[in-house]
Structure 1
Amino acid sequence: MTSGGGTTARIRPQQFHETAGLEDWRVLGEGACAYFRTGSFAAGTRFVQAIGELTDLGDDHPDIDVRRDGVHVRLITLTDEYFGMTGRHVMAARRISEAAGALGLTADPSFVQTVQVTVDALDGPAIVAFWRALLGYEHRAGSPEDLVDPRRRGAPFYFQPMDAPRPQRNRVHVDVWVPHDQAEARIAGALAAGGRLVSDADAPHNWVLADPEGNEACVGVAGPPGPATD
C-alpha cells in the first residue's frame, strides 16, 4: 500500500496500522491516538509547542489533551462531509512522534482509549433529536443518525435501531475502544472483576460483556494490523 502521506485520500484503520513508522499510534473508534509520557505539565506544554511549530501539518490540526504527566494526541478529520482518517494523518503521526523523540519523550500505546455511548432506539429520529438538543451535539458526517461533540471533547452517541421493545435488557450501553494489542488483557480484567462474556460473535473486532447485575458494555477494536509495510 502507499502511505498516503500529504494526501487527503481516506484511509481505513487497517491501512494506518500496516504503515511502517507509526508504532506510537493506535487507531480507535475516534481516529488515530497516541499518549506520550512527559513527567510534568511543563514538559507537556513544551511538547505541545513543538507540535504547534510543525509547519507541514496543514489545516488538519490534532486534538491535544495536556495533563500533569502526559499528553494525549488524536488525529481525525471532522467536516460536514467526512468523519475519519486521511493519508495526511500518516505524515502527521510520524512528525509528531519525531517531535516527541527530539524532546526525549516516549509513547505508551497501552494508555489510549476512546468511549462511545450507544442507545437502542425504536424511533430513531425522535430519540436523536432529543439527545442532540440535550447535549448540544451535531450530526456525524457520513452517519447523520449519530451525534458528535462539536467541541471534540465529549463521547460520541451512536443510535442502534430496534425492531421491537426489549424490556429484559438495558437499552443504553458504553462502547470502550481499546488498542488492538490491549483488548485481550482488558477483557480478562473485566471478567476477573466479576463480569461475564455475553457474546464474542464479532470477535476479534467486538465483544459484548456484562457487569454482575447485567448492565452491558462492548469492547471494540479498530483494524488489527497485518505485517508492516511502507
Structure 2
Amino acid sequence: MTRIVRRLLLGFALLFLLPLGLHALWHWQRGWPASWTAADWSSTGSLPEASAEAPALVRIYAARTGRWRGIFAVHSWIVVKTAGGAYERYDKLGWGRPIRVNAYAPDARWYGNDPEPVFAADGEAAARLIPAIKAAVAAYGYQRLGDYRLWPGPNSNTFVASVLAAVPAIDAALPPTAIGKDFPADGRWFGLTPTGLGLRLSLAGYLGVTIGWIEGLEINVLGAVAGLDIRRPALKLPGWGRIGM
C-alpha cells in the first residue's frame, strides 16, 4: 500500500507539480502588465473588416489570462458574424453582467496576450452554426450576477464549453489550460464530452477524467490537466497546455 501511495505521489509530482513549477518560472521571467489598465486590450487585426459583402464567420478564441493567473489558465470567448452583419463577441466575465456582448474587439488581446483560434468556420458552414450558438448562449444557466466563480467554475471557460456541448457540430475542444471547462454546468458528474465523441467524469470540476476522440485523454486534478492528444499526437501538461503537432 505504501509503495502504491509513493508511486501516485511521484506521478503527481512529475505530471503536475513539475510542469507547473517550470511554467511559473518561465511566465514570471516573461513578465506581465502591472495592472488591468496597463495591459493591452487592442485588436490584433487578425479578423477581416465586417462589410456588406463579408460572409458569415464563427471563431472561438483562447488567450492567456492576466498576471499570475496566466501561469495556469486561459480565457476563452466566442465570436459570430452573420453574412453582411457586424461582429458579436460573447464572454463570461467576473464583473458586471456575467454574459457580456461586445465588451472588447472580437479579436482583441487579453491582458496583452494574443488570442489563439480554437475553432473557425466561414461562409455557409458558419451560417448554419450561428442560430444554434446564439440559442446556446441565451440558454446558458449561469447568467445572474454572482454566477461566476474563478475556480473551479463556472467561469468563462465553463460558458464556452457549455456552448460547445449544446452545438455538437462544432467539433473542437478547449485547450487543457482552459480551467473551468470540466465544471459540470449541467449538474451531471458523468456523461458525454462536449463534442459527444467521448466520456467525461468530473467531480464538480475538482477531479476528473476525460476520454474522447477530439479531447484525447485528460486527467484533471484541482483544475490542472495532464494527458495525451490521441488524434494529433501531443502531450498535455499543466500550465503549458498542448505540446506537439
State the TM-score, normalized to the length of structure 1. 0.28
Q: Hey, which of these two has a bigger chunk of strand by percent?
A: 1
State the TM-score, normalized to the length of structure 2. 0.27
**Which has the bigger relative contact order, CA under 8 A and spacing at least 6?**
1
